[in-house]
Amino acid sequence: MCLVVFPFKKENPQVVLNNVKIAAEHPRVEEVLCVGVEKEETYRSLEQNIPTVKMETNTEINLILQERLGNKRPGKGDGMNTALKYFLEETDLERILFFDSDITTFAPHWITKALEGADIGYPVVRHYFPRASTDAMITWMITKTGFALLWPTSELPWIEQPLGGELLMHRSVVEKLFKEEDVISRSDWGIDTMYTFYSVMYGFPMLEIYISEGKLHKLYGKLTDLKTMLVECFDTIQSLKDKTFSLMSKNSSMENLSVCNGGIVHRAEHPHEVPADVFEKIGFDIEGSMTLLMENWTSKMEELLDLFPRRVRDGLLANKKGPSFSFMDEHTWRETYFVLLEHFDATDEDWQELIFKLWTSRVLCYTTTIALRGYYFAMRYLYSMIDRYMNYSARQIIKKIKRAKKDENNSST
């Protein structure tokens, strides 16, 4: 039996309640837990309506407020970690499932399918969904790119949607994660990255299940809405950058490659259908985003740009006169990413605006040169872009190992 959790902030209470009801009606769900931020409108509405759903479904449903467990911005991370704590301390259930509360396409088989994955032995089951080619730009350009560049021989870059909030974890996984300081302190949007990273780090087998009808939920307009998320997701990757869990750096023997490099058992269900609207949807407001590149420049940002290759600095600064983003191709973004890993300061407002502009230029460059050519072309491109990043970084690592070995041999003779 399992616990189903819905973290929520300010959402349409009808949508949340409907999802709670779907979960509570599920025969394999023992308890539903809603974790809110404060006693605002959504919370009050749930408080009022939950007793009826409880009676109708005869299932335990609890509503709690998140605790302050972490030390970053109090956000979704505190919400999810509060649920982990509740799961460990207040229940003896075997599995916990998380679902975003703003989903309007949620259905019972999302739960069934995940539980069936767990039944056949996967301690981590993640849902993944068809996405428009211009959606998920933090996932592709920040998280998957970072995973590929930093841990190219691990399983991380192969995970379809590492930021997805829909997942199942076995109690043994939660016990590990809840002891991890990086996880508990991550109270903000970085939490999904941490769960993904540490579940791979600990070597838990993972199944990804494909939900073909897709995840319809509250949408963003301008890219600015994503700024906080972008900053926190990048900050999380940056905070992990020195973790040596690539086998190559820990243990340079090629034979062990699949044992200690995070090369876990990881299976992803084949993505069958793609719904029609996914082909047609534009993920964000293109014109509005171009304007964003031109606004909010400070002299400190201009100085910071000196840290980057010249073509990045000149290309981005050109926005003070008119839109400029075609310079930010795949290769340039890789170089930019490495500079960011070294120098970015998530607590500094100028850095926040700068990374946002750099990423926006990457997204616009990709949208106007690649996504423009159609869904299948764009998806093929995104996957192969990650392959190229992995290959590049893996080669760099191998070179380093070979050089180190050579030096070792030289010094011993």
Judged by CB under 6 A, the stretch of 7-15, 166-174, 349-357, 386-394 that binds ligand GDP is 7-15
Residue 168 binding target from ligand GDP, Mg ion, none, CB below 5 to 8 Å by type: none
Q: Which of 330, 328, 323 is nearest to 291 (CA)?
A: 323
Place of tokens 């309007």: 104
Q: Is 9 in the site for Mg ion (CB under 5 A)?
A: no
Task: Give the Cα separation of 95 and 334 in Å (integer).
Answer: 38
Q: Is 66 in the site for ligand GDP (CB under 6 A)?
A: yes
Q: Is 101 in the site for ligand GDP (CB under 6 A)?
A: yes
Which residues in the 333-372 window bind Mg ion by CB under 5 A?
A: none
User: Residue 403 contacts by C-beta under 8 Å, 6 or more apart in sequence?
Assistant: none
Nearer to ligand GDP, 35 or 159 (CB): 35
Q: Which of 27, 25, 171, 35 is nearest to 92 (CA)?
A: 171
The interface mask with ligand GDP, positions 156-175, x = CB under 6 A, is: ---------x----------
In the complex, the smallest distance separating the C-beta of residue 215 from Mg ion, rounded to whole angstroms, is 8
Q: Are strands 167-170 and 124-128 parallel, antiparallel or unpaired?
A: antiparallel
Which residues in the 63-102 window bind Mg ion by CB under 5 A?
A: 100, 102
Nearer to Mg ion, 220 or 279 (CB): 220
In the complex, the smallest distance separating the C-beta of residue 165 from ligand GDP, rounded to whole angstroms, is 5
Residue 11 binding target from Mg ion, ligand GDP, none, CB below 5 to 8 Å by type: ligand GDP
H or E element that contains 36 = strand 29-36
Q: Are strands 2-7 and 95-98 parallel, antiparallel or unpaired?
A: parallel
- Give the CB-nearest residue to ligand GDP: 79
The interface mask with Mg ion, positions 162-201, x = CB under 5 A, is: ----------------------------------------
Backbone angles phi, psi at 30, to 5 degrees: -85, -40
Q: Is 8 in the site for ligand GDP (CB under 6 A)?
A: yes
Instruction: Give the gyration radius of the chain's Cα atoms.
Output: 22
HSE-CB at 4 with a 13 A cutoff on CA atoms is 29
Task: Give the Cα separation of 232 and 237 in Å (integer).
Answer: 9
Nearer to Mg ion, 76 or 171 (CB): 76
In the complex, the smallest distance separating the C-beta of residue 62 from ligand GDP, rounded to whole angstroms, is 14
Nearer to Mg ion, 220 or 377 (CB): 220
Q: Is 75 in the site for ligand GDP (CB under 6 A)?
A: yes
Nearer to Mg ion, 100 or 235 (CB): 100
Under a CB-based contact definition with an 8 Å cutoff, are residues 189 and 75 in contact? yes
Among 2, 32, 53, 79, binds ligand GDP (CB under 6 A): 79
Nearer to Mg ion, 157 or 190 (CB): 190
Task: Give the Cα separation of 147 and 386 in Å (integer).
Answer: 9
Nearer to Mg ion, 43 or 351 (CB): 43
Q: Which of 388, 385, 341 is nearest to 366 (CA)?
A: 385
Among 10, 54, 73, 217, binds Mg ion (CB under 5 A): 217
HSE-CB at 212 with a 13 A cutoff on CA atoms is 8
Sign for the pseudo-dihedral over CA of 176, 189, 387, 266: positive
Q: Are strands 167-170 and 95-98 parallel, antiparallel or unpaired?
A: antiparallel
* Residue numbers at the binding site for ligand GDP (CB under 6 A): 7-9, 11, 35-37, 66, 75-76, 79, 100-102, 165, 217-218
